Amino acid sequence: MSGYFKDIYEGIATALIGMKITWKHLFVRNVTIQYPDEKHDIPERVRNRLYVNMDDCIGCDQCAKACPVNCITIETAKSLPEENLGETSTGHKKKLWVTRFDIDIAKCCYCELCVPPCPTDCIFMTPTYEFSEYNRNDLIYRFATLEPGEAAEKTANAERIKMETAAKRAAELEEKKRAAAEKAAAEKAHDAGDPTAPSPIEHVAQRTDTRERTPKPSNTGGETSEPSSSGDKSAPSASSSGQPSSSGSDPFDMKTAPHDGSASVRSDAGADRDASSRPAAW
Amino acid sequence: MTENLDVLRQGIASGRLKTDELVLNMGPQHPSTHGVLRLELVLDGEIVVKIIPSMGYLHRCFEKHAEAMTYPQVVPYTDRMDYLAAMNNNHGYALAVERLLGIEVPERVEYIRVIMAELQRIASHLVAIGTFGMDVGAFTPFLYCFRDREYILDIFERTCGARLLYNYIWVGGLSHDVHDGFERDVADFIRKFRPTVTEVNNLLNYNKIFIERTAHVGVLPADVAVSYGCSGPMLRGSGVDWDLRRDDPYSIYDRFDWNVIVGDGAAGTLGDCWDRHMVRVGEMEESCRIIEQALESFPAAGDIAEAIPKRIRPPKGEIYTRVENPRGELGYYLISDGSANPFRLKVRGPSFVNLSVIDEISRGHLIADLVAILGSIDIVLGEVDR
Amino acid sequence: MESLLQSFFGDNILTLLLYCSLPLVFLLLYALLAILGEVKVSAWMQDRLGPMRTGPYGIIQPIADVLKLLQKEDITPANADKFLFNLAPYLSFMSAYAALAVIPFSSQYVGADLNLGLFYLLAISSLNVAAIMMAGWASNNKYSLYGSMRAVAQIVSYEVPAAMVLVIVVMFIGSLNLQDIIIAQSGPFWNWIVFGGPKQDVMLASGHTLDASWTNLIFFPLFLGTFVMYYISGLAETNRTPFDIPEAESELVSGYHTEYSGMKFAMFFMSEYANMFIVSAVTAILFFGGWNSPFGVYLGDAFDAPWLVAVEQFGWLVLKGLFFVFMMIWIRWTLPRLRVDQLMYMCWKVLIPFSFGVALLVGFLVVIL
Ligand code: SF4
Ligand code: SF4
C-alpha cells in the first residue's frame, strides 16, 4: 500500500520537476539560427565544394587516383616541343595540356583524399556549401580551360607526334619491348619466389600541411600510397597515360568522345561513360 | 467485410470462436525503427509473439568495396558504416592496418585519437539517449541532446572540416593536426555539457513515467547477452563488466583513470532497458573524465604526419583488431595479400550483433515495449546493413 | 445575444444559423491560435525558434498550414470502407462542435442553456469514440485498427473518473446547468470552486439558493484534488501526451488517422484541438469561475455598458481556457508517454478510487455543513 502512494507521489513529483525544467527553457535563448539569413561561421578547414586552379595544374592525375569514388576524370595531351606551357606558381614545369578535367561533385564524398597528393596544391576545398542544381549534369564541374576546338587540336597534335615517333622508332621499340618483357618476366618469377622482399613501408619524409598553400619542395611529395600499377612519374610518356588505370575503358574512346559536340553532349557522354565504366561506384 | 462478419457470426454461433495471430509489418518506413529496419511482428493482440527482423535495405557492399580500394581509400568508407561514430570506426580500421604494418604512431596522435574517439562516444550516446526518449514519447530531451552534440560536431568541424563523416584518423596518423584552441574548445564543451546530463536526468531518466516504461522491460540476462555476442552498453547493462578499452587495451586508454559503467538494476531488473540507457548516461561522464585527463597530459607539440606511410602495402598476413565503439565491439578482420588493396576486410559490427537478440528479449512484451527495447539496443542501420 | 441578432435580422432561420455558427467562428480562430501556440511553445521549450518565415515571427504559419492541407490530395485507400472512412472525420469534428453548444461564453451568450448541460456534454463528447472507431476500422490498416482500439479503451475508461468528478461538483452546487455553476462562483476569485466554492449565499438562475459560508474553505484540498483528477482525465480523453497512446507516433505511426490526408486529416486535427479547448473550458467553468472575473468587478459596470461586461466575461473564459490549453501543451512537451496497461492502471486503480473517495467525503461534508 505504501508503495502505491509512493508511486503516485513520485509520478506527480517527477512530472513537476520535468515541467519546471521545460518552463525554464521557455526563457532560454534559442540555439538555432535563421539559416538563409544568418549563417554559422565557416571554420577555416571546412570541406565543401572542390576547386581546381587550372593555372597550376600539371595534369599529373594524382588527385584522380587518390579519389575513392572515382569522381575526377582527367585527360591530357602531350605538348609539342615548340609549345611552351610555362610554369606553375610552385615552379613545376607544365608539360601536358589538360584537355579535360571534370569533377562529378554529385559523387564526391568530401573526403579530401584528393587534396594532399597534388604536387602543386592546385586542387583544394572551398567553403562554398550551397551549390545544389536542378539538373544532375550541372554538378559535373568542368575545369579544363581549353576550348573544345583547342583541346581537339592539342589532342590531335599529340597524337600525330606520337604516331610519327612511333613510326620512326618502330623497329628499335619492338626490340626494346621484347627485351623489357623478358626481363620483367624473369623479375616476376624472382619476386614470387622470394618471401623476404624489402619492406614496402616507406615513411613520408616531409609532409606540408595541406592548408598552407606553400610550394612543395619536391615533386615526389604528392605521391602517397598509390597502387604500383601505373602511378609513376615516368608514365606520362604516352598521351593516354593520364587515365586512371582502374577505369578500364578504351583510351581512344576517352580522348575522342568529349571533343565532337557541344558542352551538353559532352556532359551526357561523360556521365554515361562514368556509369558504365565503374559499376562498383555508388 | 461481410465475409469477415459471417465468419464471426458462425464462430459465435458454434461456440468455437477462435482468436488468431496477426502479422504486422513494422518498417522499413516506421518512425522508430531508427532507419530502414523492417520487423515482421507476429502479434497476439498487442503482445509480441515472434519477431523476424529483415535487414539489408541500406546495404552498400562496404566489404566488397574495400577490396577494390587502396588502404587509405577505405577510411572514408568506414565513416559510413556507423555514421554516428565515424571517428571510432576510423580508429579501429587505422589500428588494424597499423598493426599489420607494425607502425607505432606518435604520442600526440594517440592523444588526439583518444580525445576524438571519446568526444565521438559522447556524441553518439547523446543521440542514443535522445532518440530513446523519443521512442517512449518524450521529444524535448532529444533536442537538448542534439544541442550538445552540435558543440562536439563544431569541434570536429574546426579540426578536420567535416561534421559527420570525418576521414580523420588515417593509417599512421591523422588527416590534420588539431586546430588552434582545440584544448580550450574541448574543455569548454565539457563545462557546458555536464549540466545537460543533470538536466536530462531530471527531465527524462528519473521521470516516473519513463522508469515505468523502461524498467523490467526487455530484460537481457547476462548469460543470454554473452551467448548472443552482445557487446558495449548492451552487455554492460546486463551486469557484465567488459569493456575493450580496459580489457583489451588499445591506444593509450590504460593511462587514464576511469570506470567501466555496469548496469545494476536500480530501477527494475538487471539488464532491462533502463539499465542499458543509464549505462550510456554514465559512460558519457566517464568519457568526460578520460578527455579531461588526456587534456592535462596533452603533448604540446609533435608531427602528426610523421608515421604516415608513403605507400601502404602490408606484408601478407591477417589480423583481427577490435575497438570499443559506442555500440560495442567493432572488429576489423583484415587479410592482406601484400598488394595495395586489402584482400578481404570483414567487419564485426556491434549493432548487427546486438540486434540479433531482439526476438529473444521482446517476446511477450507489448508493441510499446518493443519500441522501447529497439531504442535501448541503439542500432545504427548504416552499420547493421553495411 | 439572441435578441440582439433578432433585432438585426428578424426572427427567422438566418438568425438561428448565425447564432449557432458563432462558436464555429470562435473555434476556427482558436484552432489557428492553438496550432501556433503548440509550435511556438514547443520550440521555445526546446531552445528553438519555431516557424519564423511566414509573417513576422511566423505568426501566420497556421494559415499556411491550413492552406497546405486544403491543397493536399484527398486519398482514400483502395480497400477502405469508403463511406465510414469519409464520415469519421466529420463525425469527430461534429461531436467537438456540438459540445460547444452548452459552453457559456458569457452570462449573455450560451448556445443552448440546458438544465442538463453537463450531462449533455458528457454524452456528446462520447460520440468522438464512435468516430475514432469508425476511422480505425474503415481505414483497413492494422496500425489504424490498433490505434482506434486503444482509443476506445482509453476514452471509455477515462469517462468514468471524469463523470465522477463532475458528480462531485454537481453535488456541491446542486445543478447540472453550467450557467448555474458559474453563477455560484461569482465574486472574487476566492469564491471559485477550486478554492472551496462560494463563501456567501448565492441565488442561482434556477431560483434555488445555495447556502454557503467561509466554512467552505475546508473543501479547498478536496476540490484541488478533484481539479487535478479532472484535468488528468481530460488529458486522457483528448488523447494528449502523456496519454497519446492511440496516436503514439513512435509505435503506431499515427494511430487511427494514419491513412487520412488533406482536409479529412485536418478535421481530426481540428477536433483534437477543439476537444482540448472544451476540456480546458470545462475545467475553467467547474473550478475556476468560468466567465467570472477573478476580481469580482467588471470595467463594463463602471461605464454602465452591459455589452462590455459580456465581452469581458467572454475574455476571461477564453483566457482561462487558453491557460489550460497552454498547460496541456506544456505537459505534452515534457513528459514521455504511458503504456496501455499503465494507462489503465492509472484510470482504474488511481483515479477511480480517489474520485469515489472524494465524492463520498464531499457528499458527507455537504450534508453535515
Ligand atoms: S574529396 Fe574525396 S571524393 Fe571528392 S573528389 Fe576528392 S577524393 Fe574524390
Ligand atoms: S594532382 Fe593537382 S596537378 Fe595533378 S592533376 Fe590533380 S589537380 Fe592537377
The type of residue at C284 is A
Sequence-distant (6+) residues with CB within 8 A of A251 are: A240, A243
Long-range contacts from B115-118, C-beta under 8 angstroms, 24+ separation = B115/B186, B115/B291, B115/B294, B115/B295, B115/B298, B116/B87, B116/B91, B116/B156, B116/B159, B116/B168, B116/B169, B117/B87, B117/B88, B117/B91, B117/B251, B117/B323, B118/B287, B118/B288, B118/B290, B118/B291, B118/B294
Calculate the alpha carbon distances from B9 to B13, B317, C57 in Å.
6, 71, 58
Bridge partner list, C104: C110
- Asked whether the predicted pLDDT for residue A268 surpasses 50, the reply is no
Whether residue B43 lies inside any domain: the answer is no
Domain contains B238:
yes
Rounded to the nearest integer, the mean pLDDT of chain B is 85
Q: Which residue has the cell 490505434?
A: C147
Closest CA to A227 of C21, B71, B174: B71
Q: Model pTM greater than 0.90? A: no
A86-108: average pLDDT: 80
Q: So what's the pLDDT on residue B126?
A: 92
* Amino acid found at B175: S
Pick the ligand that lies closest to the CA of residue A96. Answer: 2
Q: What is the pLDDT of residue A272?
A: 39
Is B5 inside any structural domain?
no
ipTM more than 0.90? no
Q: Nearest Cα to C275, choosing from C121, C168, C157?
A: C121
Q: Is the CB of A144 under 6 A from ligand 2?
A: no
Mean pLDDT of the B65-81 span: 87
Spell out, as residue ranges, where chain C has pLDDT lower than 50: none
Q: In this structure, is residue B376 part of a structural domain? A: no
**Shortest CA distance to B350 belongs to which of B89, B33, B30?**
B89
| Cα–Cα–Cα angle for C230, C235, C240, rounded to 5 degrees | 175
pLDDT digits (tens, 9 = 90+) for B172-188: 888 888 888 888 888 88
Q: Which three cell numbers stand for residue B100?
A: 599489420
**Cβ(A115) – ligand 2 distance below 6 Å:** no
* Alpha helices (H) along chain C: 2-9, 13-45, 61-71, 82-99, 117-125, 127-138, 142-173, 178-183, 220-237, 249-252, 262-287, 299-302, 306-332, 340-345, 352-368
Return the SS3 of C69: helix
In a domain, B50, yes or no: no
Q: How far is the CA of B169 from the centre of ligand 1 (A)?
A: 17
Chain C residue at shortest CA distance from B368: C251
Query: Is B44 contained in some domain?
Result: no
C-alpha count within 13 angstroms, C-beta hemisphere, residue C320: 26
Averaged pLDDT, B115-135: 90
- pLDDT confidence of A191, banded at 50, 70, 90? low
| Over residues B198-225, mean pLDDT | 86
**pLDDT digits 0-9 by tens, A143-181:** 877 777 777 777 777 787 777 777 777 777 777 777 788
Answer whether residue A201 shows pLDDT above 60.
no
Res. A23: pLDDT tops 70: yes
In the prediction, which pLDDT does B122 show? Answer: 92
Mean pLDDT of chain A: 68
Q: Which residues line ligand 1 (CB under 6 A)?
A: A 50, 66-67, 69, 71-72, 103, 108-114
- Of A267 and B226, the structure prediction assigns the larger pLDDT to B226
Q: Which domain holds residue B238?
A: 62-361
Strand pairing of A50-52 and A123-125?
Answer: antiparallel
Residue entry with cell 571534370: A102
* Bond into C104 cis (ω within 30): no
Q: Does C57 touch chain A (CB under 8 A)?
A: no
Hunting for cell 607505432 — which residue is that?
B104
Cα(A106) to centroid of ligand 2, in Å?
20
Query: At CA A46, angle to CA A43 and CA A52, rounded to 5?
Result: 130
Ligand nearest to the CA of A112: 1
Which CATH number is B196's domain given?
A: 1.10.645.10
More confident residue, B302 or B191: B191
Q: Distance from the CA of A105 to the center of ligand 1, in angstroms?
A: 8
- Are B280 and B375 a contacting pair, CB within 8 Å? no
If one counts the domains in chain B, the total is 1
Q: Is the pLDDT of residue B228 over 50?
A: yes
Over pLDDT 90: what percentage of chain A?
Answer: 0
In percent, the amount of chain A with pLDDT more than 70 equals 66
Q: Report, as an integer, the average pLDDT of B120-126.
A: 91
Residues in chain B, overall count: 386
Instruction: Please name the residue whose Cα sits nearest to atom 6 of ligand 2.
Output: A63
Write down the architecture of domain A50-146 according to CATH.
2-Layer Sandwich (3.30)
Nearest CA to ligand 1 atom 8: A67
Cα-Cα-Cα-Cα torsion B153, B155, B157, B162, nearest 10 degrees, comes to: -50
Query: How far is B377 from A21, CA to CA, in rounded Å?
Result: 27
For residue A72, which atom of ligand 1 is closest to its CA? 5
Partners of residue B150 in chain A, C-beta under 8 Å: 31
Which of C46, C248, C335 is the closest to B368 by Cβ? C248
Give the pLDDT confidence of B33-63 residue by residue, as tens digits.
777 888 888 888 778 888 888 888 888 888 8
Asked if B137 lies within 8 A of C45 by C-beta distance, the reply is no
Nearest-CB residue to C49 (from A22, A26, A30): A30
Note whether residue B254 is domain-resident: yes
Of A271-275, B304-308, B322-326, B361-365, give the lowest mean pLDDT range: A271-275
Closest CA to B373 of B358, B352, B351: B358
**Mean pLDDT confidence for A247-261:** 36
Q: Which of C134, C13, C31, C19 is nearest to C85 (CA)?
A: C134
Contacts of B175 in chain A (CB under 8 A): 112
